[in-house]
């Protein structure tokens, strides 16, 4: 990885970009992954590359819903594993839920590669320092996180082809699903099945953002880090107004013109 000075004002963004480039060279990402990342990066510019107030509230709401769920699951694609895998493993350990690798452009090579990377990240997180406020056997909880995706044995009603595949012990039986960087069609299908779908999406106008139960309009690695903190002190779910959240994000984006 190229050396980026600590003093660089956009170091986090450049580091994320470099991670994506390296993951793509290893065959972990779809050909369209860099396009999706660049599109998100453009929205992040307009949000000031920070977690806005409504996103912070959405993070708290998502953490509360995950904590109170009967069968929560975290669904990840390639971009998510590369950019936020470690923090999502931390979140899964705190919540006590599985992680399911579920990708739009499914190949056995990519699935195996992402599962292997998650295994490495899980061991790294298990060997590291637990989050502030954690009480208990951190290593044991992290290593108990089940990672699904190698053998899908269920399907999502309303979808066709490989993207309909899922795991019964993950998305199939879940009542609450955290799905960073989700596809709009899948989000809509999951909601139609009565599942609560919590998404992380930098584009407040996307179908995913508009169809989800709770939308966190934020960059995935920032949001994942904050979800870990919120999960340790999660409250109760509220009567969440997702439309207000999206409108607030759009307001912040439109106001960014005043920065010039």
- Domain annotation covers residue 183: yes
Distance between CA atoms of 51 and 152, rounded to whole angstroms?
34
pTM over cut 0.95: no
Distance separating alpha carbons of residues 247 and 253, to the nearest angstrom: 10
What's the pLDDT score for residue 1?
A: 53
Look at residue 236 in the predicted model and tell me its pLDDT. Answer: 92
CA separation for the pair 236, 257 (Å, rounded):
37
In a domain? residue 22: no
Name the residue among 186, 243, 206 with its Cα closest to residue 43. 206
Residue 242, domain CATH: 3.40.50.12640
* Residue 3 belongs to a domain: no
Give the residue numbers spanning the domain of 201.
53-259
45 falls within a domain: no
Residue 2: per-residue pLDDT? 61
| Tens of pLDDT, residue by residue, the chain (260 residues) | 567 767 666 677 777 778 878 877 787 777 777 778 778 888 999 999 999 999 999 999 999 999 999 999 999 988 899 999 999 999 999 999 999 998 877 888 889 999 999 999 999 999 999 999 999 999 999 999 999 999 999 999 988 877 789 999 999 999 999 998 777 888 999 999 999 999 999 999 999 999 999 999 999 999 999 999 999 998 899 999 999 999 999 999 999 877 77
Tell me whether residue 48 is in a domain: no
The answer as to whether 9 is a domain residue is: no
In a domain, 114, yes or no: yes
Tell me, what's the pLDDT at 106? Answer: 81
Residue 27 lies in a domain: no
The predicted-structure confidence for 45-70, as pLDDT tens digits, reads as follows: 999 999 999 999 999 999 999 999 99
User: What is the predicted pLDDT for the residue at 105?
Assistant: 77
Taking only the tens place, the pLDDT of each residue in 114-137 is 999 999 999 999 999 999 999 999
In this prediction, residue 36 carries a pLDDT of: 84
Number of domains in the chain: 1
Confidence at residue 194, expressed as pLDDT on a 0 to 100 scale = 95
Task: Give the pLDDT score at 50.
Answer: 93
């Amino acid at each position: 990885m190229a050396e980026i000075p600590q003093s660089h004002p956009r170091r986090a963004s450049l580091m994320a970009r470099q991670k994506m480039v390296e993951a793509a060279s290893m065959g972990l990402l779809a050909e369209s992954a860099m396009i999706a990342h660049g599109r998100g990066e453009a929205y992040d510019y307009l949000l000031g590359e920070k977690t806005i107030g409504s996103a912070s509230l959405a993070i708290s709401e998502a953490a509360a819903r995950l904590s109170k769920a009967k069968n929560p699951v975290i669904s990840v694609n390639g971009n998510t594993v590369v950019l936020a895998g470690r923090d999502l493993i931390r979140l899964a350990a705190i919540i006590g839920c599985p992680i399911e690798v579920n990708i739009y452009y499914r190949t056995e090579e990519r699935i195996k590669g992402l599962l292997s990377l998650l295994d490495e990240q899980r061991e790294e997180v298990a060997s590291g320092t637990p989050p502030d406020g954690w009480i208990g056997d951190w290593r044991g909880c992290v290593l108990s996180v089940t990672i699904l995706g190698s053998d899908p044995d269920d399907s999502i009603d309303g979808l066709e082809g490989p993207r309909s595949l899922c795991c019964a012990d993950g998305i199939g039986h879940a009542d609450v699903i955290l799905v960073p960087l989700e596809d709009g069609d899948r989000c809509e299908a999951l909601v139609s099945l009565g599942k609560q779908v919590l998404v992380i999406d930098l584009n407040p106008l996307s179908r995913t953002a508009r169809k989800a139960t709770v939308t966190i309009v934020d960059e995935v690695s920032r949001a994942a880090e904050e979800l870990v903190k919120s999960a340790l002190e999660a409250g109760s779910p509220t009567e969440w107004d997702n439309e207000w959240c999206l409108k607030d994000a759009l307001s912040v984006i439109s106001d960014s013109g005043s920065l010039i």
